[in-house]
Structure formats: structure tokens, C-alpha cells
Amino acid sequence: MVLTNWLNQRFTDGEPEIEVSAGTVRQLIAELDGRFPGIGAELEGGMAVAIDGEIFPDPFLEPIRADSEVFFLPPLEGG
């Protein structure tokens, strides 16, 4: 699980990479919010997610495997 810079500064003492066990993006966000209160609102409020390299612009139930790498990214828009 990797967080962009300002999120890790605000919530995780600057630690960008965090180990979390979760089966879906929804569970991941809930788990993180439990550990770093407030982060859930930021992550749900319009960040895209990359799971093992694939980007999901509006994630919720996307499955995460035990060894998956998850990135939170700024929202993206196509033309």
C-alpha cells in the first residue's frame, strides 16, 4: 500500500509504504481509516487506485490479493 506524499505526511508520520491485509479496496480503506483516523475520507474523496499496475478511477469492490501492491493516485481524466 503506497500513499502519495502529503497523505503520508499528514497521516502516517511520513511513512509512504504500509502493510495492510484487506480483500477489497473498500476493506483496505476501512482498515487504513482505523489505523490513521481521517485518511478514509481523503482516499474516498476522489482518488484513483492502482492495484498491481492496473488503474481503477472509481474503486470500491476491486479485489486485492495478499501480495498485491496498491497505489493511491490523484484523479485522472481522459479527453
Partner 1 sequence: MDIEAPSYKWVGTRPVRPDGIDKVTGRAMFGADFSLPDMLTGKILRSPHPHARLVSIDVSKAAALRGVKAVATAADIPEIPVDNAFVGDAPTNFRHWSSNVLAREKVLYDGHAVAAVAATSPAIADAALALIEVDYEVLPHVIDVKDAMRDDAPVLHDDLFTAGVEPKPDKPSNVAKRVEFTLGNTEAGFAEADVVVERAFRTKAVHQGYIEPHAVIANTAEDGQSQVWCPSQGHFMIRAACAKLLGIEISQFRVFPAEIGGGFGGKINPYLEPVALLLSRKSGRPVKMVMTRAEVFRATGPTSGAALTVKIGALKDGRIAAAEATLTFEAGAFPGSPVGAGCMTGFAPYDITNVKIVGYDVVSNRPKCCAYRAPGAPIAAYGIESVLDEIAQRLDLDPIDFRLKNAAKEGTKAAYGPQFGKIGCIETLTAAKDHPHYGAPLGPNQGRGVAAGFWFNFAGQASAAVNVNEDGTAIVTYGNPDIGGTRASMAQIAAEVLGIDYDKIRPIVADTSSIGFNDITAGSKTTFTAGLAVHEAAKDVVGQLRERAAKMWDISVDAVVWENGVARPASSNAGDFDPLALADIAAMAGKTGGPISGHASLAATGAGPTFAAHICDVEVDQDTGRITVVRYTAVQDAGRAIHPSYVEGQMQGGVVQGIGWALNEEYIYGSDGRLQNPGFLDYRIPVASDLPMIDTVIVEVPNPNHPYGVRGVGEVPIVPPMAAVTNAVASATGVRMTELPMSPPRLLAALENGS
Cell numbers describing residue 71: 497505489
57 sits near partner 1 (criterion: CB under 8 A)? yes
| Cα dihedral 44, 48, 1, 69 in deg (nearest 10) | 140
At closest approach, how far in Å is the CB of 19 from partner 1? 16
Contact in structure between 59 and 48 (CB atoms under 8 Å): yes
38 sits near partner 1 (criterion: CB under 8 A)? no
46 sits near partner 1 (criterion: CB under 8 A)? yes
Find the binder of partner 1 among 9, 35, 37, 41 (CB under 8 A).
9
Task: From 61, 48, 46, 38, select the one nearest 2 (Cα to Cα).
Answer: 48
List contacts with partner 1 (CB under 8 A): 2, 4-6, 9-10, 45-46, 50, 52-58, 62, 69, 71, 73-79
